[in-house]
């Protein structure tokens, strides 16, 4: 796995969070662009509510590189949704993929996502974390905007507006938004949810590890069979490129 360059901490995070707290999401993006310029990137999964962050960022920084990790196992609806939003918002989309194809991955290791926690984590490192780290390295990112929100999962409840992950300053402009805030923004701007939202999918990743929300599940349990919530992209690196 390519090693990321450690970006120098260009901001006092405590002071930054204090300054960012009263600002709108768009102004938080503007703050990040003012400080990091061309070394600022945005990441997206083209998930259930991704149109919010994409629209905000495209409005504030039209040419911002938008990193999308294509594992090769996404829903057909996700690929079509990505095409729709990329054209509509004129996104500067940067697609990154794993070093090996889905067929080659399965020939070597089988269906890792069916092999318990260890298998899921290995799959995520190969299919998601490695291409993300490669993207951040090749784009020389020193700061990274992500559309995480505290209400999405227990693992995100304590996330700050601005933090640090693997030497890169990470900004969460809509971290304090509620589901109602998201709905109001989408409605006001005529933007869509992911097509699978209407089928009960509240968190949408790979087709083999995403399930619709039913009465016996919590939103967090709709991913990775309830074994874990995060795919590793938004977690500090623990080292190791695969298995």
pLDDT at residue 220, as a whole number: 82
Task: Inform me whether the pLDDT recorded for 2 exceeds 60.
Answer: no
Which of residues 97 and 152 earns the better pLDDT score?
97
Choose which CATH entry (2.60.40.10, 3.40.50.720, 3.40.50.620, 3.20.20.10) describes domain 13-226.
3.40.50.620
pTM attached to this predicted model: 0.89
pLDDT at residue 17, as a whole number: 95
Query: Residue 41 and residue 136: Cα distance in Å, rounded?
Result: 8
- How far CA 84 is from CA of 35, 72, 77, 191, 213, in Å, comes to 31, 18, 10, 11, 25
pLDDT at residue 234, as a whole number: 79
Q: Could you write out the DSSP letters of every residue in the chain?
A: -PPPP-----S-HHHHHHHHTTS-HHHHHHHHHHHHGGGEEEEE---TTHHHHHHHHHHH-TT-EEEEE--S-B-HHHHHHHHHHHHHHT-EEEEE--SS-HHHHHHHH--GGGSHHHHHHHHHIIIIIHHHHHHHHHTT-SEEE----GGG-GGGTT--SEEEETTEEEE-TTTT--HHHHHHHHHHTT-PPPGGGGGT-SS--BTTSB----TT--GGGGBGGGS-S--STTS---S-S--
DSSP, collapsed to helix, strand or coil, labels residue 92 as: strand
pLDDT at residue 1, as a whole number: 38
pLDDT at residue 166, as a whole number: 86
Query: Known catalytic residues?
Result: 231
Mean pLDDT value across residues 67-92: 98
The 8-class DSSP code of residue 223 comes to B
Give me the chain's average pLDDT, please: 89
pLDDT in tens, 166-209: 889 999 999 999 999 999 999 999 999 999 999 999 989 999 99
Query: Residue 222 and residue 218: Cα distance in Å, rounded?
Result: 7
Which of residues 169 and 6 earns the better pLDDT score?
169
pLDDT at residue 152, as a whole number: 76
pLDDT in tens, 25-68: 999 999 999 999 999 999 999 999 999 999 999 999 999 999 99
């Amino acid at each position: 796995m390519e090693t990321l360059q450690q970006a120098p901490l260009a901001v006092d995070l405590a002071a930054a969070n204090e300054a960012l707290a009263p600002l709108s999401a768009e102004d938080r993006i503007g703050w990040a662009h003012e400080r990091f310029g061309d070394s600022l990137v945005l990441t997206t999964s083209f998930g259930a509510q991704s149109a919010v962050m994409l629209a905000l960022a495209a409005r504030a920084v039209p040419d911002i590189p938008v990193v999308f990790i294509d594992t090769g196992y996404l829903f057909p609806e996700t690929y079509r949704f990505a095409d729709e939003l990329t054209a509509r918002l004129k996104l500067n989309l940067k697609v990154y993929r794993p070093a090996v194809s889905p067929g080659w991955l399965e020939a070597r290791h089988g269906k890792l996502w069916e092999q318990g926690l260890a298998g899921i984590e290995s799959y995520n490192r190969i299919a998601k974390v490695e291409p993300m780290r490669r993207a951040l390295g090749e784009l020389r990112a020193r700061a990274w905007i992500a559309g995480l929100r505290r209400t999405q999962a227990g693992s995100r409840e304590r996330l700050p507006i601005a933090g640090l992950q693997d030497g890169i300053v990470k900004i969460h402009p809509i971290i304090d938004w509620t589901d109602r805030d998201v709905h109001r923004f989408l409605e006001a701007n005529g933007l869509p949810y992911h097509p699978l939202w209407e089928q009960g999918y509240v968190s949408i990743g790979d087709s083999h590890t995403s399930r619709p929300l039913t009465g016996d599940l919590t939103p967090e349990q709709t991913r990775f069979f309830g074994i874990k919530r995060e795919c590793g992209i938004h977690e500090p690196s623990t080292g190791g490129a695969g298995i």
